[in-house]
Amino acid sequence: MKSLEAEKDRVQLQKVSIHSTCEFAKQLVQHGSHTEVMTHAKNIQARMKELNNIRPTVQVKTIEITFSKGKLPVDFFGRVTMLEWIDEFESSVNYVWDISCSQSGTMYLVSVLSGKLTAISPSHEVIFQVDVPRPRGVTVLSDDRLVVTCYDGCRVYSSSGKHVKTFGQGDVPGLRGVTVDNNGHILVCDKNDKCICVYDAVQYSLINKISVPMRNNPQYIAVLPCRDTIVVSDIGRHCVYGVTPQGDVVFQYGTPGERGSGDGYLNSPSVVCTDSVGHIFIADKWNHRVVVLTSDGQLLRYVVGPQQVLKPVGVTIDNKGQLVVGEYGGKVKTFRYVH
- Between the CA of residue 281 and those of 20, 92, 271, what are the distances in Å? 54, 24, 8
Separation CA 135–CA 112 (nearest Å): 5
Closest CA to 81 of 285, 279, 245: 279
Q: What percent of the chain has pLDDT over 70?
A: 76
Please give the radius of gyration of the chain, using alpha carbons only, rounded to the nearest integer.
27
- What sign does the dihedral 311-315-319-320 (CA atoms) show? positive
For the segment 119-141, the average pLDDT, to the nearest whole number, is 96
Question: What phi and psi values does residue 176 have, to the nearest 5 degrees?
Answer: -140, -115
Question: What phi and psi values does residue 156 have, to the nearest 5 degrees?
Answer: -100, 130
What does the pLDDT look like over 43-91, one tens digit per residue?
767 766 666 666 666 565 666 666 565 555 555 445 566 578 788 888 8
Mean pLDDT is highest, among 26-30, 169-173, 219-223, for 219-223
Higher pLDDT, residue 20 or 208: 208
Closest CA to 155 of 204, 208, 207, 192: 204
- Residue 305: is it exposed, middle or buried by C-beta count within 10 angstroms (0-12/13-18/19+)? middle
DSSP SS3 for 43 = helix
CB 66 within 8 A of CB 283: no
For the segment 236-244, the average pLDDT, to the nearest whole number, is 95
Kindly tell me if the per-residue pLDDT of 236 is higher than 80: yes
Written out in words, the top-level CATH class of the domain with range 80-338 is mainly beta
Kindly tell me if the per-residue pLDDT of 252 is higher than 60: yes
Higher pLDDT, residue 337 or 267: 267
CB 83 within 8 A of CB 309: no
Q: What is the DSSP string of 281-324?
A: EEEEGGGTEEEEE-TTS-EEEEEE-TTT-SSEEEEEE-TTS-EE
pLDDT at res. 77? 46
CB 230 within 8 A of CB 245: yes
CB atoms within 10 A of CB 143: 14
pLDDT at res. 52? 66
Angle at 72 between CA 71 and CA 74, to 5 degrees: 125
For the segment 18-23, the average pLDDT, to the nearest whole number, is 62
For the segment 122-141, the average pLDDT, to the nearest whole number, is 96
CB 187 within 8 A of CB 197: yes
- At residue 8 the predicted structure's pLDDT band, cuts being 50, 70 and 90, is low
- At residue 42 the predicted structure's pLDDT band, cuts being 50, 70 and 90, is low
DSSP SS3 for 117 = strand
Q: Enumerate the β-bridge partners of residue 335.
A: 85, 323
pLDDT at res. 291? 97
What does the pLDDT look like over 91-115, one tens digit per residue?
888 889 999 999 999 999 999 999 9
Separation CA 281–CA 315 (nearest Å): 7
